Chain A
């Protein structure tokens, strides 16, 4: 049971780190919180059974890094990069104007 919790916690912590690097925003908190819960249970069980907690400490370290990155990313402003191609594309081209000139609207 303890081993299963450690495996789950490790996978979720790695997923949390990956999602916190990618622009997932606060959604990255889902694997982070789950990893922390599983890690905490595994930590208590290991303490009770007198087993090593080194790996669990590594998991907690990953969780701290992932949480920090997620919080940092969440407060980053949303920006749009305006490239010249898009700006040009949005303008009414001569070809479009020709099409529009042929339109006669009915009231």
Chain B
């Protein structure tokens, strides 16, 4: 009997953990990406994170859309128009289709991952543009770990973690698929902090994000993310280290929140 109750509790706990408690189906978060040099800021781009529901004949999916667009003043010099999409299970945030369409100063790259969670595999499509304007495709079949996600769904998955239960200094590692390679991303809870944002003064969880085998996110505390310490866990501020100086992401508006 005791074993049965324990098993039942474990099952309920697992179900609760895998439920999406933080992300609404019609959420829109708008950010400003800036470059910080000796405390002086210059705004570079607008980053938008949107969610929506997509219904098919068989299932209902959640579309997680992230886009980065340079402000028009930069467009003549270096235009960025990036679109990242992930179609996930609305409850568990498990990804099924991931698309990355990047246009950065004339450089174009398209990536698509079709996940098959039954066989733990991914059908990958990489599309690049040649100098003459024509495209070439590279199709690969990849084997992945059962919990490997993409960049976008990982970001939303971090928001869905029970951070309030975590101790300061505790860390969690997530496997993500980036450029057809599995990498580990480590998220460490540094503590809580109250910061002023465009959506008000917010008490936040301060999380350090690092990727050990990747040069994008180097260092233990160089890349920090502030998530509101409420049920929505909105990413309100992020700081990341780049070649010369620092980059910043500041929230401008948040609409359609779940709580």
Which A residues lie at the B interface, using CB under 8 A?
22-27, 29-30, 73, 76, 78-81, 86, 89-90, 92, 96-97, 99-101, 103-107
Task: Determine whether the beta carbon of A101 is less than 8 Å from that of B58.
Answer: yes
Any A CB within 8 A of the CB of B32: yes
**Contact yes or no, A76 B73, CB < 8 A:** yes
User: Residue B134 at the A interface, CB < 8 A?
Assistant: no
B77 at interface by CB-CB < 8 Å: yes
A34: min CB distance to chain B, Å: 11
CB of A90 within 8 A of CB of B67, answer yes
Known: A73-B73, A99-B97, A99-B114. 5 other contacts (CB 8 A): A25-B40, A26-B42, A79-B71, A100-B61, A101-B56
Q: Are A80 and B72 in contact (CB under 8 A)?
A: yes
Kindly state the separation between the CA atoms of A90 and B85 in the bound complex, as whole angstroms: 9
Min C-beta distance of B88 to chain A, whole Å: 9
Q: In whole angstroms, what is the CA distance A26 to B46 when docked?
A: 18
B67 nearest in chain A by CB position: A90
Q: Are B40 and A29 in contact (CB under 8 A)?
A: yes
**In chain B, residues 12-67, which have Cβ atoms closer than 8 Å to a Cβ of chain A?**
32, 35, 37-38, 40-43, 46, 54, 56-61, 63, 65, 67
Taking CB as reference atom, which chain B residue is nearest A29?
A: B40
Instruction: Check B42 against A107 for contact (C-beta < 8 Å).
Output: no
Selected from A27, A86, A92, the residue in CB contact (under 8 A) with B37 is: A27
Could you tell me the distance between the alpha carbons of A57 and B220 in the complex, rounded to whole angstroms? Answer: 49
Residues of B with C-beta under 8 A to A23: 42, 71, 73-74, 77
5 A-B pairs with CB atoms under 8 Å apart are A29-B40, A92-B63, A104-B59, A106-B89, A107-B92
Q: Which residues of A contact B67 (CB under 8 A)?
A: 90
- Of all chain A residues, the one with the shortest Cβ separation from B52 is A92
Which of B35, B59, B69 has a CB less than 8 Å from the CB of A80?
B69
B163 to chain A, nearest CB (A): 24
Residues of chain A within 8 A of B156, CB atoms compared: none
A79 to B42: give the CA distance in the assembly, Å.
14
Instruction: List B contacts of A30 (CB < 8 A).
Output: 37-38, 40
Which residue of chain A lies nearest to B88 when distances are taken between CB atoms in the complex?
Answer: A105
